[in-house]
Structure 1
Amino acid sequence: MDALSRAGPRARRAAAAPGPGPSPLPWGRFAAWIDCVCVVTFDLELGQAMELVYPHDFRLTEKEKTSICYLSFPDSYSGGLGDTQFSFRLRQSGGPRTSPFQDDGRYNREAPLTLQREAAHYFGYVYFRQVKDSSMRRGYFQKSLVLVSRLPYVNLFQSLLQLIAPEYFDKLEPCLEAVCNEIDQWPPPVPGQTLNLPVMGVVIQVRIPSRVDKPGSSPVKQFNQENLLPAPLVLPSVHELDLFRCFQPVLIHIQMLWELMLLGEPMVVMAPSPTVSSEMVLALTSVLAPLRYCCDFRPYFTIHDSEFKEYTTRTQAPPNIVVGVTNPFFIKTLQHWPHILRVGELRMSGDLPKQVKVKKLAKLKTLDTKPGIYTSYKTFLHKDKSLIKRLLKGIQRKRPSEVQSALLRRHLLELTQSFIIPLEHYIASLMPLQRAITPWKNPPQIRPFCQEDFMKTLEHAGPQLTCVLKGDWLGLYRRFFKSPNFDGWFRQRHREMTHKLEALHLEAICEADIVAWMKDKSEVEIVDLVLKLREKLVRARCQHVPVREETLQRVGLYIDTIIGSLPEDLQAVLHHP
């Protein structure tokens, strides 16, 4: 046995690690993808119990552990045997915590807004197994393997679980440790890059989407094919679900569901299993892409959740959230919610999927409630009948599901873009003109967003230029202005424009004649300029203002030039503040 074979797993990992140098902190590369792996088992005395957290030193609060335990098992499980996969999203408790993964926020700056690393929530990706086992007191083996991550990579992590969970259930902890060691060698997720991720003798190949990708484009999926043996498992997307499969029973209502998501309306998805519930919630929250869904969402939610009381109280309006549930008890406790989507197992009507009906909320009373959308909501826009016809014809012609999903996704993308482009044009007009930016004055302010002024632009530059759908677009915009999605979009755009102004101001300073400016200025004014320029430099670096490094260096040289023109005692003070 050689020295490396005798070494511990971490030493072997460091020696074998490809790509960039080892992370400065243990498990840094692992944490770039996954915070921890949990194993939840069913204990006859305790119920769901946390059997294992890996890495062992990862800190989950007791509240988080309890929530993960309940969210990792199907609620009111029907007794079916076998394996099932689903996802949940969990609010972090216990305040901010440090992670061994440190990237200075680079990932979030370069990733699409819809795929940013979450700061206040964890995603849980679950692989649950229930099989008969006479050696267990209850006669069943019931266990879940859960990947806990800040990244909404549902497709990647569920595919990863399909590889590792069956192996883990057979071989237990040593297998899990080996897999985690392999993940700790992966390169970090860098937007725009296609990565090869080896695990258990398989290479998963994925492309990490980037903010500069053209929406709706399909970048080349495979590369380096001939060098990889065996051939890699190529995932077409890290995060995209099969939209068509998720929405089959509600295709004729896709317009209504898009509007409800756009407006951030509270919605309950009642489903027969956590798989259906979590996929439907994730599909719903993805229909606005590339616009970010800024409300809360819980792909799977149980009566044991710490927010249960908050969501079921009738003393206040339901929060802006989409909640996926499976327990029939929720029919009673969430009856006051304004929009309830009840989906069952898919049924066919001839060769077409049976479509659910829109029903009055008052009819949602009995426990054997039929599938349907229980709401009194009236859509602002008319249905796109041509889209529905194309999709239904595609079913009859046995068109592949991925082609149907691409059609649906393109339609939703074009609809969202038609809605958002007039807002983008208007907000761009609020930016001060470049000629108004002068070096020695603070940059001018971005003009305020006036809803009525925006509405006046719609007659000539509204959605009708790019969208054939008719309806009350103005009414839809007015409702949108009251939603968290408008607030989130506006804050993001305002922040980007403020950074752009900062960058233009720094460029203007670099092009100015500093010596000429200083001639008739007092020492107080010159010192004031030095302090302001220093503050600008710090802000530009901390907030990652989109300005060239060369510009920042020139501003630094300007500061040195200005200080050099001052008396020595002042120079000493400014050099050593």
Structure 2
Amino acid sequence: MDPFDSSESLEGPSKAVATTAEFSEPWSRFSAWLECVCVVTFDLELGQAIELVYPHDVKLTEKEKTSICYLSFPDSYSGCLGDTQFSFRLRQSVGRSSSWFGQEDVYNRDAPVTLQKEHAHLHGYVYFRQVKDATVKRGYFQKSLVVVSRLPFVNLFHSLLQVIAPEYFEKLEPCLETVCNEIDQWPAPVPGQTLNLPVMGVVMQIRIPSKVETAEGSPVKQQQTENLLPAPTVLPSVHELDLFKCFQSVLIHVQMLWELMLLGEPVVIMAPSPTVSSETVLALVSSIDPLHYFGDYRPYFTIHDSEFKEYTTRTQAPPNVILGVTNPFFIKTFQSWPHIIRLGELKMSGDLPKQVKIKKLAKLKTLDTKTGIYTAYKTFLHKDKTLIKRLLKGIQKKRPSEVQSAILRRHLLEQTQSFILPLEQYLETLMPPQRSVSPWKTPPQIRSFNQDEFMKTLEQAGPQLTLKGDFTGLYRRFFKSPNFDGWYRFRHREMSQKVECLHLEAICAAKKENPTSSEQLEGSADVDQR
């Protein structure tokens, strides 16, 4: 049976699906979390091929199917035996809409910008198994179970796969039908609430952070039937990776990596496996939280990717993208890129992780296997030696990795917040005074961002950091980055909405004070909208 043929149906998730109208009702809960679940297998004649897609009626384009196929298997150079987990991100085909039925705006309104559902990209979370199997012609069982979503919840979806994938590889299709039906019963993702998500006899308890965090999350009202479920497995975070584990071999270069991410510089991560590749890219992107990374990023990228030519052309400057790769072929392809981080398996020097060194780009030779950060970049700020000593001492004292990660994450968060705070304070001065909002006039304009004017404010209101360095140079470079452009557009839109709200409030207040002027006010409001 062709899993893409919606004219046929199997028992399970697709049984009740006949028309688009019927599809939207039973699958709206499933679609709030996932686009689909795919099974990718290795076919001797076709190579990687999609074996199954649930729901059967999901509308993936041929381009998306091909991308998912290639991104769901480790590169042959990785030699991944056993079970491997990693993630990828792909561009959605033009013209295809989301299957999350009109709920995106509600969720995105309350979620932090870094956790909002994406409109133009899909995230894939992979559980790949490769084991010897004498019953298969090739001698190996090779299959991937892939969860595709618009939500960047790497920790949640990898935990979900750890529950369902081993069971699926044993029992195959009927198991997947049951899982999809269970996910279709989950409560909607609501920022700020504690949610219980039951699947295959396990209950995962999560909390999605809200835009305005409170000290305690509001628990969801539990249904009585949930009392019969086992005690939940509490996930500390839906999205946070073990930062310390990801950065162990580059701890002394954390300041440089933070600046490269802040400035949206083109970076290639060359890793020994898709797991290291994808975790490193995601850790780098999260290192500038709560600032949203507005460049493109691909946790795992292959030569079969539809954007391969776009990203590897030498006729123009490299794009603002972070690429995670495992194929040595990319060493030659990306020789013209300004920043290349070559990672290997973690090695120890005594009881400390061996740190990779900064190397000149000219030393990056074809198929060179030496680890290192190949770049000519000079940091604007000095590295924080106190932080590095604290983390290295933590290794010697065998401090738990989650504690080390918390120390590192707090440091990066405070550094980003301190960098953004002067920009936020300057934005407040661009807002029109409230007294200028009149019901009889169109809403006042927000003043334009003036870089030179902002730079003058740094003398009194610069970043409150113990770090020393060239903050002026860093801000000027930041102004040229996609992260500044994206941040400013996002904040300007929020400010414009605030001015509009103040204007409407002024109109309502004037109507109450002088009801006879309501027609004139309504005419004024019509002019504003035009």
> What TM-score, normalized to structure 2?
0.92
Q: How far has the Cα of 1:247 moved from its partner? A: 0.3
In structure 2, which of residues 472, 497, 500 is the aligned counterpart of residue 499 of structure 1? 497
1:198 aligned counterpart, secondary structure: strand
Q: Deviations over 1:274-330 (max 9, x none)?
A: 000000000000011011000000000000011111111110000000000000000
Equivalent position of 2:209 in the other structure: 209
Contact 1:206-1:221 within 8 A present in 2 as well = no
Identity across the alignment (%):
74
Q: Deviations over 1:32-74 (max 9, x none)?
A: 0010011000011111011111100101111111111000000
Equivalents in 2 of 1:104, 1:247: separation in Å?
Answer: 33
Shift of 1:9: 4.8
On the 8 A contact 1:13/1:181 being kept in 2, the answer is: no
> Residue in 2 aligned with 1:372?
372
Please name the residue that 1:383 is paired with: 383
Q: Distance in 2 between the 1:514 and 1:237 partners?
A: 48
Whether 2:407 is the aligned partner of 1:407: answer yes
For the Cα contact (< 8 Å) 1:25–1:100, is it kept in 2?
A: no
Match status 1:81 vs 2:81: yes
Contact 1:23-1:29 at 8 Å conserved across structures? no
User: What is the match of residue 360 of structure 2?
Assistant: 360
* Structure 2 unaligned blocks of 5 or more: 1-10
2: distance between equivalents of 1:97 and 1:23? 15
Match of 1:67 in 2: 67
Counterpart secondary structure, 2:76: coil
Q: 1:468 aligns with which of 455, 466, 469?
A: 466
Aligned to 2:251: 251
Which consecutive residues of structure 1, in runs of 5 or more, have no partner in the other structure? Answer: 1-7, 15-21, 537-577
C-alpha separation in 2, matches of 1:70 and 1:343 = 22
Q: Distance in 2 between matches of 1:530 and 1:405?
A: 52
> Hey, what does 1:176 align to over in structure 2?
176
Alignment match, 1:489: 487
Q: Match of 1:548?
A: none
Cα deviation code 1:495-526 (max 9, x no counterpart): 1111110111111111115785857x9x9x67
Deviation track 1:211-242 (CA, whole Å, cap 9, x = no partner) reads: 0016xx79699998x95752211100000000
Cα distance in 2 for partners of 1:301, 1:397 equals: 37
| Structure-to-structure mapping, 1:151-550, within 5 angstroms | 151-213=151-213, 227=227, 229-463=229-463, 466-513=464-511, 516=514, 528-529=523-524, 531-532=526-527, 535=529
Cα distance 1:185–1:459, how it changes in 2: closer, same or farther (>3 A)? same
In the alignment of these two chains, the number of paired residues is 515
Q: Verify the 8 A CA contact 2:195 2:220 in the aligned structure 1.
A: no
One-letter identity of the residue aligned with 2:526: L
Indicate if the aligned counterparts of 1:361 and 1:376 stay in contact, CA closer than 8 A: yes
Contact (CA 8 Å) 2:442, 2:527: kept in 1 or not? no
Instruction: Report if the CA contact (8 A) 2:14-2:57 is conserved.
Output: no
CA distance in 1, matches of 2:500, 2:122: 34
> Once the 2 structures are TM-superposed, how far is the Cα of residue 101 of structure 1 from its aligned partner?
3.0
Aligned twin of 1:17:
none
2:259 and 2:480 map into 1 onto residues whose CA distance is: 13
In 1, distance between residues paired with 2:141 and 2:13?
Answer: 32
Distance in 2 of aligned mates of 1:389 and 1:336 = 34
Is the CA contact (8 Å cut-off) linking 1:221 and 1:234 kept in structure 2?
A: no
The secondary structure found in structure 2 opposite 1:159 is helix
CA distance 1:435–1:330, change in 2 (3 Å):
same
Cα contact 2:24–2:101 (8 A) shared by 1: no
**Cα gap change, 1:222 to 1:359, in 2 (>3 Å):** farther
One-letter code aligned to 1:127: Y
Q: Is the 8 A contact 1:28 1:102 kept in 2?
A: no
| Structure 1 Cα separation of the partners of residues 282 and 228 of structure 2 | 33
Equivalent pair of 1:222/1:234 in contact (CA under 8 Å)? no
Cα 1:334/1:530, change in 2 over 3 Å: closer
Matches within 5 A, 1:23-42: 25-42=25-42
Offset at residue 251 of structure 1 (A):
0.3
Alignment of 1:7-46 (within 5 A): 9=12, 25-46=25-46
In the TM superposition, structure 1's runs of 4+ consecutive aligned residues that sit over 6 Å from their partners are 10-14, 217-224
The alpha carbon displacement at 1:151 in A equals 0.3
Contact 1:48–1:70 (8 Å) recurs in 2:
yes
Separation in 1 of the partners of 2:388 and 2:484? 28
TM-score by length of 1: 0.85
Between the aligned partners of 1:326 and 1:123, the Cα distance in structure 2 is: 19
